[in-house]
Protein backbone atom coordinates (compact mmCIF):
# COMPACT_ATOMS: atom_id res chain seq x y z
CA UNK A 1 0.00 0.00 0.00
CA UNK A 2 1.26 3.47 -0.85
CA UNK A 3 -0.52 5.13 2.08
CA UNK A 4 -0.39 3.05 5.26
CA UNK A 5 -3.03 2.97 7.99
CA UNK A 6 -0.84 5.21 10.15
CA UNK A 7 -2.08 8.06 7.95
CA UNK A 8 -5.73 7.14 8.53
CA UNK A 9 -8.45 8.85 10.57
CA UNK A 10 -7.69 7.15 13.90
CA UNK A 11 -4.02 8.09 13.86
CA UNK A 12 -4.73 11.61 12.71
CA UNK A 13 -7.27 12.06 15.50
CA UNK A 14 -4.90 10.82 18.20
CA UNK A 15 -2.16 13.07 16.79
CA UNK A 16 -4.46 16.11 17.15
CA UNK A 17 -5.33 15.12 20.71
CA UNK A 18 -1.65 14.74 21.60
CA UNK A 19 -0.83 18.07 19.97
CA UNK A 20 -3.34 19.75 22.28
CA UNK A 21 -1.96 17.79 25.28
CA UNK A 22 1.63 18.86 24.54
CA UNK A 23 0.53 22.50 24.72
CA UNK A 24 -1.24 21.79 28.04
CA UNK A 25 -4.65 22.86 26.74
CA UNK A 26 -6.40 19.48 26.44
CA UNK A 27 -9.77 19.02 28.14
CA UNK A 28 -12.26 16.19 28.17
CA UNK A 29 -14.67 18.19 26.02
CA UNK A 30 -11.91 19.03 23.55
CA UNK A 31 -11.06 15.34 23.21
CA UNK A 32 -14.67 14.47 22.44
CA UNK A 33 -14.93 17.27 19.89
CA UNK A 34 -11.76 16.23 18.04
CA UNK A 35 -12.80 12.57 17.99
CA UNK A 36 -16.26 13.44 16.64
CA UNK A 37 -14.95 15.82 13.97
CA UNK A 38 -11.90 13.90 12.73
CA UNK A 39 -12.70 10.20 13.12
CA UNK A 40 -15.84 8.07 12.85
CA UNK A 41 -19.06 8.10 14.85
CA UNK A 42 -18.03 5.14 17.00
CA UNK A 43 -14.56 6.58 17.67
CA UNK A 44 -15.68 8.23 20.92
CA UNK A 45 -16.33 4.72 22.27
CA UNK A 46 -12.92 3.36 21.25
CA UNK A 47 -10.28 6.09 21.13
CA UNK A 48 -11.25 8.03 24.23
CA UNK A 49 -11.48 5.11 26.70
CA UNK A 50 -8.19 3.71 25.43
CA UNK A 51 -6.47 7.05 26.07
CA UNK A 52 -8.16 7.97 29.35
CA UNK A 53 -7.74 4.50 30.89
CA UNK A 54 -4.05 4.55 29.84
CA UNK A 55 -4.38 1.37 27.79
CA UNK A 56 -2.57 3.46 25.23
CA UNK A 57 0.25 5.00 27.31
CA UNK A 58 0.04 8.37 25.63
CA UNK A 59 -1.99 10.37 28.15
CA UNK A 60 -2.08 10.51 31.93
CA UNK A 61 -5.32 10.64 33.88
CA UNK A 62 -5.01 14.41 34.24
CA UNK A 63 -4.86 14.69 30.41
CA UNK A 64 -1.15 15.47 30.22
CA UNK A 65 1.27 13.54 28.03
CA UNK A 66 4.83 12.28 28.43
CA UNK A 67 5.41 13.22 24.80
CA UNK A 68 7.43 16.43 24.55
CA UNK A 69 7.15 17.20 20.83
CA UNK A 70 4.13 17.67 18.62
CA UNK A 71 3.53 14.48 16.56
CA UNK A 72 4.41 14.74 12.89
CA UNK A 73 3.68 12.39 10.01
CA UNK A 74 6.08 13.13 7.16
CA UNK A 75 5.34 11.52 3.83
CA UNK A 76 7.56 8.73 2.56
CA UNK A 77 9.41 9.03 -0.74
CA UNK A 78 7.00 6.72 -2.57
CA UNK A 79 4.01 8.66 -1.23
CA UNK A 80 5.51 11.89 -2.53
CA UNK A 81 6.17 10.25 -5.90
CA UNK A 82 2.54 9.08 -6.08
CA UNK A 83 1.26 12.55 -5.22
CA UNK A 84 3.59 14.04 -7.82
CA UNK A 85 2.13 11.71 -10.45
CA UNK A 86 -1.44 12.70 -9.48
CA UNK A 87 -0.51 16.39 -9.57
CA UNK A 88 0.47 16.02 -13.24
CA UNK A 89 -3.08 15.02 -14.23
CA UNK A 90 -4.49 18.11 -16.02
CA UNK A 91 -7.90 17.54 -14.37
CA UNK A 92 -6.35 18.34 -10.99
CA UNK A 93 -6.10 21.98 -12.10
CA UNK A 94 -9.90 22.20 -11.89
CA UNK A 95 -10.05 21.67 -8.13
CA UNK A 96 -7.45 24.10 -6.71
CA UNK A 97 -5.55 21.27 -5.01
CA UNK A 98 -2.17 22.26 -3.64
CA UNK A 99 0.78 19.85 -3.73
CA UNK A 100 3.57 21.59 -1.79
CA UNK A 101 7.25 20.55 -1.65
CA UNK A 102 7.12 18.28 -4.71
CA UNK A 103 9.24 20.37 -7.09
CA UNK A 104 12.24 18.01 -7.09
CA UNK A 105 10.27 14.77 -6.69
CA UNK A 106 10.26 12.25 -9.54
CA UNK A 107 6.69 11.09 -10.37
CA UNK A 108 5.87 7.46 -9.72
CA UNK A 109 4.34 7.27 -13.20
CA UNK A 110 3.46 9.57 -16.07
CA UNK A 111 0.89 9.52 -18.86
CA UNK A 112 3.48 7.84 -21.08
CA UNK A 113 3.52 4.76 -18.82
CA UNK A 114 0.00 3.59 -19.63
CA UNK A 115 -2.22 3.33 -22.69
CA UNK A 116 -5.88 4.41 -22.71
CA UNK A 117 -7.98 2.76 -25.39
CA UNK A 118 -11.62 3.08 -26.47
CA UNK A 119 -11.64 6.77 -25.57
CA UNK A 120 -12.62 9.58 -27.91
CA UNK A 121 -9.82 11.95 -28.85
CA UNK A 122 -11.77 15.23 -28.57
CA UNK A 123 -11.77 15.43 -24.78
CA UNK A 124 -12.04 18.71 -22.88
CA UNK A 125 -9.05 21.05 -22.64
CA UNK A 126 -8.50 21.13 -18.87
CA UNK A 127 -5.67 23.65 -19.18
CA UNK A 128 -7.82 26.30 -20.83
CA UNK A 129 -8.22 29.28 -18.47
CA UNK A 130 -11.82 29.95 -19.53
CA UNK A 131 -12.73 26.29 -19.00
CA UNK A 132 -11.17 26.32 -15.52
CA UNK A 133 -13.01 29.54 -14.63
CA UNK A 134 -16.35 28.13 -15.83
CA UNK A 135 -15.76 24.91 -13.89
CA UNK A 136 -15.11 26.83 -10.67
CA UNK A 137 -18.24 28.94 -11.18
CA UNK A 138 -20.42 25.89 -11.83
CA UNK A 139 -18.98 23.95 -8.90
CA UNK A 140 -19.67 26.86 -6.57
CA UNK A 141 -23.20 27.19 -7.94
CA UNK A 142 -23.85 23.48 -7.35
CA UNK A 143 -22.62 23.71 -3.74
CA UNK A 144 -24.60 26.87 -2.99
CA UNK A 145 -27.70 25.97 -5.05
CA UNK A 146 -27.33 29.16 -7.10
CA UNK A 147 -28.88 29.53 -10.58
CA UNK A 148 -26.58 30.07 -13.54
CA UNK A 149 -26.80 32.28 -16.61
CA UNK A 150 -25.01 30.38 -19.35
CA UNK A 151 -24.08 31.26 -22.92
CA UNK A 152 -23.28 28.22 -25.05
CA UNK A 153 -22.75 27.14 -28.62
CA UNK A 154 -25.36 24.72 -29.89
CA UNK A 155 -24.59 21.86 -32.26
CA UNK A 156 -24.91 24.20 -35.24
CA UNK A 157 -22.50 26.74 -33.77
CA UNK A 158 -25.20 29.27 -32.85
CA UNK A 159 -25.11 31.23 -29.57
CA UNK A 160 -27.77 30.35 -26.99
CA UNK A 161 -28.55 32.03 -23.66
CA UNK A 162 -30.24 30.16 -20.82
CA UNK A 163 -30.83 30.38 -17.10
CA UNK A 164 -30.61 27.01 -15.40
CA UNK A 165 -30.65 25.46 -11.96
CA UNK A 166 -27.48 23.33 -11.63
CA UNK A 167 -27.93 19.91 -10.04
CA UNK A 168 -24.53 18.23 -10.31
CA UNK A 169 -21.43 17.75 -12.44
CA UNK A 170 -20.56 14.42 -13.99
CA UNK A 171 -17.49 13.11 -15.80
CA UNK A 172 -17.53 10.73 -18.75
CA UNK A 173 -14.43 8.56 -18.83
CA UNK A 174 -15.21 7.43 -22.37
CA UNK A 175 -15.70 10.97 -23.73
CA UNK A 176 -13.13 12.55 -21.39
CA UNK A 177 -15.58 15.39 -20.79
CA UNK A 178 -17.31 17.07 -17.85
CA UNK A 179 -21.05 17.71 -18.14
CA UNK A 180 -23.47 19.84 -16.14
CA UNK A 181 -26.81 18.26 -15.27
CA UNK A 182 -29.37 21.04 -14.84
CA UNK A 183 -33.05 22.02 -14.88
CA UNK A 184 -34.95 25.29 -15.10
CA UNK A 185 -35.68 25.82 -18.80
CA UNK A 186 -36.57 23.87 -21.94
CA UNK A 187 -32.94 23.78 -23.07
CA UNK A 188 -31.57 22.57 -19.74
CA UNK A 189 -30.54 19.00 -19.13
CA UNK A 190 -27.05 17.81 -20.00
CA UNK A 191 -24.64 20.61 -20.96
CA UNK A 192 -21.08 19.90 -22.07
CA UNK A 193 -18.74 22.34 -20.32
CA UNK A 194 -16.60 22.65 -23.44
CA UNK A 195 -19.52 24.37 -25.23
CA UNK A 196 -19.91 27.09 -22.62
CA UNK A 197 -18.82 30.56 -23.77
CA UNK A 198 -19.69 32.42 -20.58
CA UNK A 199 -21.08 31.43 -17.21
CA UNK A 200 -22.03 33.36 -14.09
CA UNK A 201 -24.33 33.00 -11.10
CA UNK A 202 -27.56 34.96 -10.77
CA UNK A 203 -30.12 35.57 -7.96
CA UNK A 204 -32.04 32.51 -6.80
CA UNK A 205 -35.44 33.95 -7.66
CA UNK A 206 -34.66 34.15 -11.39
CA UNK A 207 -35.11 30.43 -12.06
CA UNK A 208 -38.12 28.34 -11.17
CA UNK A 209 -37.12 25.24 -9.19
CA UNK A 210 -37.78 22.01 -11.00
CA UNK A 211 -37.14 18.41 -10.26
CA UNK A 212 -34.05 16.87 -11.73
CA UNK A 213 -35.02 14.87 -14.83
CA UNK A 214 -35.50 11.22 -13.98
CA UNK A 215 -32.76 9.22 -15.65
CA UNK A 216 -33.67 5.71 -16.72
CA UNK A 217 -31.73 3.05 -14.87
CA UNK A 218 -30.84 -0.13 -16.75
CA UNK A 219 -29.38 -3.45 -15.67
CA UNK A 220 -27.10 -5.90 -17.49
CA UNK A 221 -26.84 -9.55 -16.59
CA UNK A 222 -23.34 -10.72 -17.45
CA UNK A 223 -21.63 -14.09 -17.28
CA UNK A 224 -17.90 -13.96 -16.70
CA UNK A 225 -15.23 -16.61 -17.21
CA UNK A 226 -12.41 -15.91 -14.76
CA UNK A 227 -9.41 -16.46 -17.00
CA UNK A 228 -6.41 -14.12 -17.30
CA UNK A 229 -7.54 -12.40 -14.11
CA UNK A 230 -10.79 -11.35 -15.81
CA UNK A 231 -12.85 -11.08 -12.61
CA UNK A 232 -10.48 -8.63 -10.96
CA UNK A 233 -10.19 -6.61 -14.17
CA UNK A 234 -13.96 -6.37 -14.63
CA UNK A 235 -14.63 -5.37 -11.01
CA UNK A 236 -11.91 -2.74 -11.22
CA UNK A 237 -13.05 -1.46 -14.62
CA UNK A 238 -16.66 -1.05 -13.43
CA UNK A 239 -15.72 0.03 -9.89
CA UNK A 240 -17.82 3.23 -10.02
CA UNK A 241 -21.00 1.40 -11.15
CA UNK A 242 -23.49 -0.26 -8.84
CA UNK A 243 -23.15 -4.02 -9.27
CA UNK A 244 -23.63 -7.45 -7.73
CA UNK A 245 -21.53 -10.53 -8.35
CA UNK A 246 -22.13 -14.18 -7.44
CA UNK A 247 -20.15 -17.32 -8.14
CA UNK A 248 -22.00 -19.95 -10.17
CA UNK A 249 -19.12 -22.36 -10.89
CA UNK A 250 -15.42 -22.82 -10.23
CA UNK A 251 -14.42 -20.15 -12.73
CA UNK A 252 -17.75 -18.62 -13.75
CA UNK A 253 -19.57 -15.66 -12.21
CA UNK A 254 -22.88 -13.90 -12.74
CA UNK A 255 -22.67 -10.11 -12.51
CA UNK A 256 -25.56 -7.65 -12.38
CA UNK A 257 -24.37 -4.24 -13.58
CA UNK A 258 -26.52 -1.11 -13.23
CA UNK A 259 -26.05 1.95 -15.45
CA UNK A 260 -27.87 4.93 -16.89
CA UNK A 261 -29.54 4.60 -20.29
CA UNK A 262 -27.74 7.75 -21.48
CA UNK A 263 -24.44 5.87 -21.05
CA UNK A 264 -25.50 2.82 -23.07
CA UNK A 265 -23.04 3.39 -25.94
CA UNK A 266 -20.17 3.77 -23.50
CA UNK A 267 -21.29 0.63 -21.66
CA UNK A 268 -21.43 -1.29 -24.94
CA UNK A 269 -17.83 -0.41 -25.78
CA UNK A 270 -16.67 -1.29 -22.27
CA UNK A 271 -18.31 -4.72 -22.30
CA UNK A 272 -16.93 -5.54 -25.74
CA UNK A 273 -13.41 -4.70 -24.58
CA UNK A 274 -13.37 -7.89 -22.49
CA UNK A 275 -13.89 -10.12 -25.50
CA UNK A 276 -14.94 -13.76 -24.93
CA UNK A 277 -14.48 -13.57 -21.15
CA UNK A 278 -17.66 -11.53 -20.66
CA UNK A 279 -21.00 -12.60 -22.11
CA UNK A 280 -24.22 -10.57 -21.97
CA UNK A 281 -27.15 -12.79 -20.95
CA UNK A 282 -29.85 -10.10 -20.86
CA UNK A 283 -31.58 -7.87 -21.78
CA UNK A 284 -32.01 -9.03 -25.33
CA UNK A 285 -32.00 -5.43 -26.58
CA UNK A 286 -28.40 -5.03 -25.40
CA UNK A 287 -27.43 -8.37 -26.95
CA UNK A 288 -28.81 -7.06 -30.24
CA UNK A 289 -26.69 -3.92 -29.89
CA UNK A 290 -23.62 -6.13 -29.58
CA UNK A 291 -24.60 -8.09 -32.69
CA UNK A 292 -25.01 -4.89 -34.70
CA UNK A 293 -21.72 -3.52 -33.44
CA UNK A 294 -19.83 -6.69 -34.35
CA UNK A 295 -21.43 -6.80 -37.79
CA UNK A 296 -20.25 -3.24 -38.44
CA UNK A 297 -16.73 -4.11 -37.31
CA UNK A 298 -16.70 -7.12 -39.64
CA UNK A 299 -17.97 -4.98 -42.50
CA UNK A 300 -15.22 -2.42 -41.88
CA UNK A 301 -12.58 -5.14 -41.64
CA UNK A 302 -11.91 -4.58 -37.96
CA UNK A 303 -12.37 -8.26 -37.02
Close Cβ partners of 58 (under 8 Å, ≥ 6 residues apart):
14, 18, 51, 65, 66, 67
Q: Cα–Cα distance between 255 and 245 in angstroms, integer? A: 4
Instruction: Assess whether the region 129-206 and the region 217-299 belong to the same CATH fold.
Output: no
Helix (H, G, I), strand (E, B) or coil at 151: strand
Q: pLDDT for 148-171, tens place per residue?
A: 999 998 777 788 899 999 999 989
Q: pLDDT for 264-287, tens place per residue?
A: 888 888 898 888 899 999 999 999
Please, what sign has the CA dihedral across residues 244, 120, 107, 11?
negative
Q: At what angle do helices 264-272 and 284-299 cross, to 10 degrees?
A: 70
The topology (CATH level 3) of 217-299 is Alpha-Beta Plaits (3.30.70)
Q: pLDDT for 28-80, tens place per residue?
A: 899 888 888 887 766 777 888 889 888 999 999 889 999 888 888 788 888 89
Q: pLDDT for 125-151, tens place per residue?
A: 999 999 999 999 999 999 998 999 999
Question: Is there a contact between 165 and 183 (Cβ–Cβ < 8 Å)?
Answer: yes
Q: Note the pTM of the prediction, 2 decimals.
A: 0.62
Using a 10 angstrom Cβ sphere, with 0-12 exposed, 13-18 middle and 19 or more buried, the burial of residue 272 is middle
pLDDT at 213: 53
Domain range annotation of the chain: 1-73, 77-113, 129-206, 217-299
pLDDT at 117: 67
Q: pLDDT for 247-259, tens place per residue?
A: 888 889 999 999 8
Q: Give the CATH architecture of domain 129-206.
A: Roll (2.30)
Percent of the chain that is helix, strand, coil (3-state, to 5): 40, 20, 40
pLDDT at 232: 85
| pLDDT band at 303; cut points 50, 70, 90 | low
Amino acid sequence: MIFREVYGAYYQTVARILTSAVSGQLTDGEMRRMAAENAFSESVLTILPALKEERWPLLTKDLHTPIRRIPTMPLTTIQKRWLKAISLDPRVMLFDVDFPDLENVEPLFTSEDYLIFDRYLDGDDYRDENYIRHFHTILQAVHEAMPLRIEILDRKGNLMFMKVKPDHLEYSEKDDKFRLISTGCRYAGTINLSRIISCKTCPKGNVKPERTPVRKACCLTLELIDERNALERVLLHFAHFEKRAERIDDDRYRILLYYDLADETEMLIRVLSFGPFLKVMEPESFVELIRCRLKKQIAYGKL
